[in-house]
Amino acid sequence: MNSSSAVPADAFSLRSPYGKRAIALAVAAAVGGFLFGFDSSVINGAVESIQGDFALNDFVTGLVVAVALLGCAAGAMIAGSLADKWGRLRVMFLGAILFFVNSIGAAYAFSVWDLALWRVVGGLGIGIASVIAPAYIAEVAPRQIRGGLASLQQLAITLGIFAALLSDFWLEAAAGGADNVLWWGLEAWRWMFLVGVVPAVVYGVLAFTLPESPRYLIAKGRSDEARTIITRLVPAVDLDKTMNELVNAIETDRKLAGVSLRGKALGLQPIVWIGIILSVFQQFVGINVIFYYSTSLWNSVGLTNAPLISVVTSVTNVLVTLVAIFLVDRVGRKPILLTGSVIMTLSLGAMALSFAFAEGSGDSLVLPGVWAPIAIVAANLFVIGFGASWGPLVWVLLGEIFPSRIRAKALGVAAGAQWLANFTITMTFPVMSNWSLPITYGMYALFAGLSFVFVLLRIPETKGMELEQTETLFARPAKG
């Protein structure tokens, strides 16, 4: 086949050597997403035990759960510059070390303050993984299958959440309670953190076995090494084109390194605010309340199988993420987001209504009659609505809406806003829920309703468009 020939249609199928290699690399890198989901959700089964063992009030409990998110923000901010200096694989290994240290430190925490410190350390690892894993996948994936492989990161996150909640459930069941001693004199809730050592070690080992990113190698003047790696990922007919695209992209990034996000809309360009608002709405609907606090929430209303309910919820999250991956390029972004907003608004409203009929207060709160099953169904319907829409699609839109000259910086700002919004919701939930669960879930329902209005008025459809076209679509409404 000569250099002018087209790339074979089946070059990147599951059976082709190029497809298999690209998928293998993407799956290995996505272990970072698995750690992301695992470490951010593993505290779910331990919250009540931590609060009881260390005699914490609601405010400090919320701080211990949420403080990891401050580490996430810091890790995300430093990951890009470290990766450009050290390489993607060394930074992956750094993230693995942070996960490893966090798992051991949290398991052997002797006070709430050193537990909070280990949570921050783990947050740094999460922040690093949230940037490096998708960046590495995008840089090693052939452009013909980049979208599908990039979606593995979101799937890996949901699998990590599922694994964390399943291990929490199994450890609590094995010990007969999260506060009971299981092995080696450690309570079950401490083992929940210690289990994280296993995926951390796997991620660290993978960092030594994966090839370095070709983009990084070219940027460092190591083009021959990059070419060797790319040769294994694309057919010979596409090799020169792939190399040239990488060289041109790197040169463009260098030229745009000094471009500013400043604008007339409260100090930022209007399109940056659209990205920020999308990110904030994604968190202000309260999704992480389900994954961080669901076990303690269901326990508080008298449900004896609370850990199992949390596991079922996480399985639901995995399945609907697969649905979103299948539909996003078929149905389109806007219809899916609007449908998700409606489902979230109704389900959160149903949860608020259910808790309005709760009897008792504090730890003796009980949902009577049909209100307990209604609340459980509503919670899982909320996860379905979020997981099939706002969960994965916000990341899709953030990759599409920003002009190339500001894309990297604007993505960083939007991701930072997402972490801070997550921190705000996670930090305030224990206090707000103790004050009024109906008002708390009613507030989340209000934000879900507002997200519908925002998408309806400000987000055009981008399905099937080139990035240059989507930039134009988003620029027009932002000026109005």
Query: Angle at which helices 391-398 and 333-356 pack, to 10 degrees?
Result: 140
The position carrying tokens 């459930």 is 169
* Structure tokens belonging to residue 474: 């988003």
> How many C-beta atoms surround the C-beta of residue 199 within 10 A?
23
Q: pLDDT of the chain along its 480 residues, tens only?
A: 344 356 555 555 556 666 667 677 777 777 777 887 887 777 776 777 777 777 777 777 777 777 888 888 788 777 777 877 788 788 888 988 998 998 889 888 888 888 888 888 988 888 887 777 777 776 676 655 555 666 677 778 878 888 888 888 888 777 777 677 778 777 777 888 888 888 889 888 888 887 877 777 877 778 777 788 777 766 667 677 777 777 777 777 676 666 666 766 666 777 888 888 998 999 999 887 776 556 656 665 555 666 667 677 777 777 887 887 777 777 888 899 999 999 999 999 998 998 888 776 655 667 777 888 888 888 888 988 998 888 878 877 776 677 656 665 677 678 778 878 888 888 788 778 778 888 999 999 999 999 999 999 888 776 665 444 555 566 544 443
Please enumerate in sequence order all residues whose Cβ is within 8 A of that of 314, keeping only pairs 6 or more positions apart, or say none.
41, 158, 161, 162, 164, 165, 166, 291
The letter for the amino acid at 439 is I
Tell me the residue length of the chain.
480
Q: Among residues 402, 431, 456, 479, which one has the least CA distance to residue 51?
A: 431
Phi, psi of 260 (to 5 degrees): -100, 150
* Structure tokens belonging to residue 382: 């909320």
pLDDT of residue 207: 81
How far apart are alpha carbons 47 and 299 in whole angstroms? 11
The letter for the amino acid at 467 is L
Longest dimension (CA), the chain: 77
How far apart are alpha carbons 366 and 360 in whole angstroms? 6
pLDDT of residue 2: 40
Please enumerate in sequence order all residues whose Cβ is within 8 A of that of 65, keeping only pairs 6 or more positions apart, or say none.
43, 47, 119, 292, 293, 426, 427, 430
pLDDT of residue 480: 39
How far apart are alpha carbons 441 and 320 in whole angstroms? 22
Secondary structure, 3-state, 422-434? HHHHHHHHHHHHH
Instruction: Give the helix ranges, DSSP H, for 176-305.
Output: 188-194, 197-209, 214-219, 223-231, 239-255, 270-284, 287-300
* Structure tokens belonging to residue 321: 């993420």
> How many C-beta atoms surround the C-beta of residue 330 within 10 A?
9
pLDDT of residue 307: 64
How far apart are alpha carbons 74 and 76 in whole angstroms? 5
Q: Among residues 388, 386, 226, which one has the least CA distance to residue 321?
A: 388
* Structure tokens belonging to residue 457: 């008025």
- What region, left, alpha or beta, does residue 367 occupy, with left being phi > 0 and alpha being psi -120 to 50 degrees? beta
Please enumerate in sequence order all residues whose Cβ is within 8 A of that of 473, keeping only pairs 6 or more positions apart, or say none.
460, 462, 465
Q: What is the CA radius of gyration of the chain?
A: 23
pTM of the model: 0.71
How far apart are alpha carbons 279 and 261 in whole angstroms? 17
SS3 143: helix
Instruction: Give the helix ranges, DSSP H, for 87-187.
Output: 88-107, 112-140, 146-175
The tally of CA atoms less than 13 A away on the side-chain side of residue 171 is 28
Query: Angle at which helices 407-435 and 287-300 pack, to 10 degrees?
Result: 20
Reported as a single tens digit per residue, the pLDDT across 422-447 is: 888 887 887 787 788 889 999 999 99
Q: Among residues 430, 431, 426, which one has the least CA distance to residue 119?
A: 426
